[in-house]
Structure 1
Amino acid sequence: MRRFRLRTATAVAAAGILALSAAGCVQSDRTEEGSQPKKDTLVFGVAGDAKVLDPALASDGESFRVAREVFEGLLRAEPGGTKIVPALAESWAPDSTGLVWTFKLKSGVKFHDGSDFNGEAVCANFDRWYNWSGLMQGEDISTYWQDVFGGFAKNESAALPTSLFSKCAAPDAGTAVITISRVTSKFPAALILPAFSISSPKALKEFEANKIGGTADSVTYPPYATDHPTGTGPYKFVKWDRTNKVVELERFDGYHEAKAKIKNLKFKTIADLSARKQALRAGEIQGYDLVAPADIKPLTDEGFSVLPRPAFNIFYLALNQSGNPALKKPEVRQAIAYAINKQAIIDSKYPVGSSVATNFCPPTLAGCDAATEAHAYDPAKAKELLAAAGVTGLKLRFHYPTEVTRPYMPAPKDIFELISADLKAVGIEVTPVPLKWTPDYLNAVQVGTAHDLHLLGWTGDYSDAYNFIGTFFDRQKQEWGFNDPALFAEFKAADQEPDATKRADLYRALGVKLSQMVPGVPIAHGPPSLVLSKDITGLKPSPLTDERFDTAEYK
């Protein structure tokens, strides 16, 4: 849900090694002749490793990709869209206050360990999240709980707000009643998020799901989160081969809906984009994500199925005001915004259909179409602003991720270099800080304070502007390094406005404020693509990157 490339002889060699490694790891999925993959296995190439297999503790797309196959929540997004449809809940409705929500649950649903899904299981999960303590209350551990529900039963930090969640009751096996503390645009919309998937209470207890260890900077996850994720989804977990970077799943024959069409599903990490393409062409994988814009036409011409997703994301350059003192000056932040040639970045690194971003949310969402300060490319204006701020010889630490591509960020190192050149042209020098995506990079830019600039982004979770701008700016965060209680209060007021039209107007006003204060620079909205082999069909691309592989099949 949240985040560049000089080609050298070493890089080319590394790509070749990765491709050979990928080939060696999937031989068991091929026939004895070695010419065709078995028809009961689909190997899908991904750009990075999952961080954790307990979705409640995850905040990254690769962890959620696995979770979507193993787990289900009360609600989900319709295939290929953003509309909310039933999942484990058949229906849901609020009382007259909008605070008490009754969910009628599907019957006959089993967890992968054979235990029953029911109202008590729903409440056990909500009570687990609500009662987290210690390290579990860390922003990078319970990210989505805090983004949506805020605080906990007993907050251990004064910065945590009162929880949106109040209580859950199960009057019978087929019902869960959830009470919240205030009306909000987030509920129940956010329940489509994988982070709020329902786990087996039996497995949570057996595999010590809450027994997290280590420190905030070096977390040790419990057995449930690494080797025993247990949900109700169409696939069940088999193993996580960390050496060969493969997560293996198998069809759950006790699934309560149509069974998955392909028996075995594997997610194979191949960090190098060229190596993923080579593995597809060699038949070693049957698909991969984040197709390079330049590869779309060649792969299509070769007969592969390239599936573009609608653009429902934002890519941005974040400016950390708690780092270099110069970044506290609005003129300096504005200068950086004017210095960046967004269109050149899009023209060279993004697929057809991408657009320059002027807001921190896609213009297709209500309230994201505000006429904000666009900060068009203007190096002369940038120099004027730096001079007016009395800043010369500015040097900034610029973090960017390695070993990864993201739906909103197709080439991190290349984009870093383009932005660095733009900044140098107006007199700003950068010190590059490349870090592996997970856990180093995400920890450094979301929790640490040493970064001045960094690249990050977001793919929407549900169809409301608050999911973008509220997630970023409704409270103090290390990523941005500023504290503005008045602004945070405005975000809270917008979120709690029950009238959708009025709420959109409040979002527009907030968009204008953000464009004036420049906490970061929105750069692009891009439609990422995935690709499948010529004999795979049935997978529907999702703007939320919410693809479900149980519908995929061999022709």
Structure 2
Amino acid sequence: MHIRKACCLAALATAVLGCRSASAETTLRIAMTAADIPTATGLPNNGFEGMRFLGYPIFEGLVLWDLTRTDRLASLRPGLAEKWEQDPEDTKTWIFHLRRGVKFHDGTDFNADAVIWNLDRYFNSNSRQYEPPSSAMSKARVPVMGSYRKLDDFTVAISTTRPASYFPYMLVYLLFTSPASFERADHDWAKVATLPAAGTGPFRITRVVPRQEADLARWDQYWDKSKLAKVDNIALLPIPEANSRLAALRSGQVDWIEVPPPDAIDSLKSAGYVITTGSYPHVWPWFYNIGATDSPFKDVRVRQALNYCIDRDGLVALLNGTAEPSVGWLKPSDPDFGNPDNRYKFDPARGKALLAQAGYTAAKPLSFKVMISNSGSGQMLPLPMNEYLQQNLKEACGVNVDFNVVEWQVLLTAARATPDSPSLLGSMALNISSPSSDPGIMARYFSSANFSPNGFNFEQWRDDTFDQALKTIERETDPKVISDAYRIAHERLVDNPPWLYIVHDLNPRAMSPKVKGFVSPQSWFVDLTLVRMQ
């Protein structure tokens, strides 16, 4: 009798402890702006929001971002490569020394074979693991990729098509998935995400329900013991409509929302929610479709005119101060902004004069379509913002703008289309938010070598002075020479604008006061290992 009673008490104690242990688990619930769960095969779609939440927390690259500071642009740090250097005998070749002892979430080893396998996934169309969607993104993000080879089990050499001093900044966007994931899915990438796929990061995927939720769990065997996550689980919910995200936060359905509605910020603060903002390398523009057959934007005067026609301060007021005016790819406070001839401001008279010189008057107004999204990573609040611009351009300069509204991923795909592609639906501009973090991004978007569909120069913009400055940046090692060239390159982006520069985002987020430890870095990405739940 006593023995039975003791066993029952022990079982009860175990059950109670088990319940306590389960209840002690912490889950961070995040509402994304995406309309769907980013792809979970190791290189997510949905732009940089996909990389932010279904990329870096689970899958890593040879090079990673340092996202622990707020006082400077995010810098690079060693990732799955402990160190790297340019080959002293060939500046187009980089040697990467891989980190030893790293395992994927499925227990298999990370090594040089895994690196080559993943690079073949992105760049070798004859490989069994070649994945066209991931390849398209990777080729656009790393347009200088040449060849690669294994030197030994923990050393690889990667060569670029031309010298590129910024190559490590491009490699942060190539993430590595366990080859065993592909084998277990019978060589079907559509099935890989259902396994789920295995990476090497501080979180692992435990469940994905398309358009509903993706769940992550802390990976206690993570190779960097100083970066073990402080929450047990993360739940990611796609909620593209801003007021729906707001309602989810206020009701306690989520703990954190991306891009709260600007008119709700004051009331959220009054209710005890935490609003975080911060300057980061972001520009919210319209990409001019210069290359289209009958594009009005072939004339630089038209491109300049619109930059004088928009009231950026009025748009910032609409956004309750969560953005700042953009008059170039970089911010005017950036030391590399340069001294361009054009200092854009709201000057309708100058805008109309330039339009008239190009042949557009009240009798023959400029009219065109813009492809925009209803939500998306870095897109801020695209519908009300674009409606504001539509009215602004009509009233200030007599310009008629219509919109093609599509989902974010459709818009991203359109950015890799050729200028007259039917997929553009006749659009003469695309509203796609862009990073402006480093020369690698500048080269990706504006080099004449990177015309779409092989790169992100959707506009098919060419400027010889810019290309020459970029070549100097790629080949020089003297920081002063590089900085001087960077300023010249940026001056051309202002004076011969491929974009309509509108605003820079200040990265607003709203969080429950239970969320602690969050750092808002000067980056599109965040370090989720720093976050804890009170």
Asked if Structure 1 and Structure 2 have the same fold, meaning a TM-score greater than 0.5 normalized by the shorter chain, the answer is: yes
Partner of 1:14: none
Change (3 A) 1:310 1:483: closer
Q: Could you tell me which amino acid in structure 1 is paired with residue 199 of structure 2?
A: G
Change (3 A) 1:297 1:80: farther
Q: Deviations over 1:46-69 (max 9, x none)?
A: 111244223446361232121111
Say whether residues 1:468 and 2:436 are aligned partners: no
In the aligned structure 1, how far is the partner of 2:380 from the partner of 2:341? 26
- Kindly indicate whether the alpha-carbon contact (under 8 Å) linking 1:47 and 1:289 is maintained by their aligned counterparts in 2: yes
Say whether residues 1:232 and 2:204 are aligned partners: no
In the aligned structure 1, how far is the partner of 2:47 from the partner of 2:368? 27
In the aligned structure 2, how far is the partner of 1:350 from the partner of 1:324? 38
Partner of 2:169: 189
Partner of 1:367: 336
Q: Deviations over 1:472-501 (max 9, x none)?
A: 444323774435384674365144232332
Q: How does 1:102-501 map to 2 (within 5 A)?
A: 102-132=95-125, 141-150=134-143, 163-172=144-153, 174-191=154-171, 193=172, 195-207=173-185, 222-224=190-192, 228-243=196-211, 245-258=212-225, 259-321=228-290, 322=292, 324-349=294-319, 351-352=321-322, 354-363=323-332, 367-391=336-360, 392-402=364-374, 404-407=375-378, 409-425=379-395, 426-439=397-410, 441-447=411-417, 448-449=423-424, 450-460=426-436, 463-468=437-442, 470-474=444-448, 475-477=450-452, 480-482=458-460, 484=462, 486=464, 489-490=467-468, 492-499=470-477, 500-501=479-480
- Kindly indicate whether the alpha-carbon contact (under 8 Å) linking 1:480 and 1:519 is maintained by their aligned counterparts in 2: no
In the aligned structure 2, how far is the partner of 1:485 from the partner of 1:414? 33
TM-score when normalising by structure 2? 0.82
- Kindly indicate whether the alpha-carbon contact (under 8 Å) linking 2:38 and 2:44 is maintained by their aligned counterparts in 1: no
Determine helix, strand or coil for the equivalent of 1:338: helix
Partner of 1:538: 517
Q: Deviations over 1:497-527 (max 9, x none)?
A: 3233222222222222232333221111221
In the aligned structure 1, how far is the partner of 2:151 from the partner of 2:300? 51
Say whether residues 1:509 and 2:492 are aligned partners: no
Determine helix, strand or coil for the equivalent of 1:222: helix
- Kindly indicate whether the alpha-carbon contact (under 8 Å) linking 1:317 and 1:521 is maintained by their aligned counterparts in 2: yes
Partner of 1:70: 58
- Kindly indicate whether the alpha-carbon contact (under 8 Å) linking 1:75 and 1:87 is maintained by their aligned counterparts in 2: yes
- Kindly indicate whether the alpha-carbon contact (under 8 Å) linking 2:208 and 2:214 is maintained by their aligned counterparts in 1: yes
Q: Deviations over 1:7-40 (max 9, x none)?
A: xxxxxxxxxxxxxxxxxxxxxxxxxxxxxx9743
Determine helix, strand or coil for the equivalent of 1:202: helix
Partner of 1:80: 68
CA-CA distance at 1:136 after TM superposition: 6.7
- Kindly indicate whether the alpha-carbon contact (under 8 Å) linking 1:398 and 1:451 is maintained by their aligned counterparts in 2: yes
- Kindly indicate whether the alpha-carbon contact (under 8 Å) linking 1:120 and 1:170 is maintained by their aligned counterparts in 2: no
Change (3 A) 1:514 1:261: closer
- Kindly indicate whether the alpha-carbon contact (under 8 Å) linking 2:208 and 2:215 is maintained by their aligned counterparts in 1: yes
Change (3 A) 1:366 1:55: farther
Unaligned runs of 5+ in 1: 1-36, 151-162, 212-220
CA-CA distance at 1:331 after TM superposition: 2.4
Change (3 A) 1:233 1:132: same
TM-score when normalising by structure 1? 0.79
How many pairs align? Answer: 487
Change (3 A) 1:90 1:327: closer
Q: Could you tell me which amino acid in structure 1 is paired with residue 442 of structure 2?
A: F
CA-CA distance at 1:241 after TM superposition: 0.8
Q: Could you tell me which amino acid in structure 1 is paired with residue 300 of structure 2?
A: P
Equivalent position to 2:83, from 84, 91, 110: 91
Change (3 A) 1:350 1:324: farther
- Kindly indicate whether the alpha-carbon contact (under 8 Å) linking 2:301 and 2:358 is maintained by their aligned counterparts in 1: yes
Partner of 1:42: 28
CA-CA distance at 1:332 after TM superposition: 2.3
Change (3 A) 1:284 1:58: closer
Change (3 A) 1:470 1:242: closer
- Kindly indicate whether the alpha-carbon contact (under 8 Å) linking 1:367 and 1:465 is maintained by their aligned counterparts in 2: no
In the aligned structure 2, how far is the partner of 1:365 from the partner of 1:202? 45
Identical amino acids, percent of aligned pairs: 22
Determine helix, strand or coil for the equivalent of 1:291: coil
Change (3 A) 1:177 1:325: closer
In the aligned structure 1, how far is the partner of 2:54 from the partner of 2:392? 38
Partner of 2:15: none
